[in-house]
Amino acid sequence: MAEEKPRVEEILRRIDELLDILRVLSEDLTEVSRALRTATSSIVKAQPVMPIEEAGVTRRIQMIDDVQRVFPQDLVGMLYFEEKSDHILIKPRQYLGSENFAKVASIVRDQLGGEYISAGRESHFKVPKT
């Protein structure tokens, strides 16, 4: 039993160290996120905004396929798409890098009317179905 107490204390000490590291990482990621938002807002779009249209009338986005068609093939493979009741959730499958992140953010915002939700490991893009 005496051997177990120092072990628990060592584990608690290590957890505290990891929490400190995670705090620093969180602050760094917040700073990078702000920089990316600034950078993506100033990027000049190479393609015009193209709403999803059917017979000349903008229609409601109903399926993941509608959203996936807007992205270039190289980006679709890097993203995970999930349909929710009122929106499509888009998460990266891998690290996108700043250039691909900016492309995805621009498409989501400018062509799909969506937004980026910064939530640490749960960060994602959200595209409304309207």
Residues 5 and 57 in one domain: no
Alpha helices, H only, 42-95: 64-68, 73-76
74 and 29 in a single domain? The answer is no
Distance CA 51, CA 59 (A): 9
Mean pLDDT (the chain) is: 78
31 plus 59 within the same structural domain = no
Does one domain contain both 30 and 55?
no
**89-110 pLDDT, tens digit each:** 999 988 888 999 999 999 999 9
pLDDT at 100: 92
Mean pLDDT of 110-116: 92
Range of the domain at 15: 1-42
How many domains does the chain contain in total? 2
Judgement on whether residues 73 and 86 belong to the same structural domain of the protein:
yes
How many CB atoms within 10 Å of residue 37?
Answer: 14
Predicted local distance difference test score (pLDDT) of residue 55: 45
Q: What is the pLDDT of residue 47?
A: 40
Please give the share of the chain, as a percent, with pLDDT higher than 70. 75
For residue 53, the one-letter residue type is E
Q: Looking at the structure, do residues 53 and 115 belong to the same domain, yes or no? A: yes
- At residue 107, the pLDDT reads 93
Tell me: do 103 and 64 sit in the same domain: yes
Query: The pTM is what?
Result: 0.53
pLDDT on residue 116? 93
Instruction: Kindly state whether residues 76 and 130 are assigned to the same domain.
Output: yes
HEC-encoded secondary structure of 6-54: HHHHHHHHHHHHHHHHHHHHHHHHHHHHHHHHHHHHCCCCCCCCCCCEE
12-69 pLDDT, tens digit per residue, is 888 888 888 878 777 777 777 777 776 665 554 444 444 455 444 444 455 788 888 8
Alpha-carbon distance 48 to 66, whole Å? 18
Q: Provide the token pair at 129.
A: 């179905």
Same domain, 5 and 29: yes
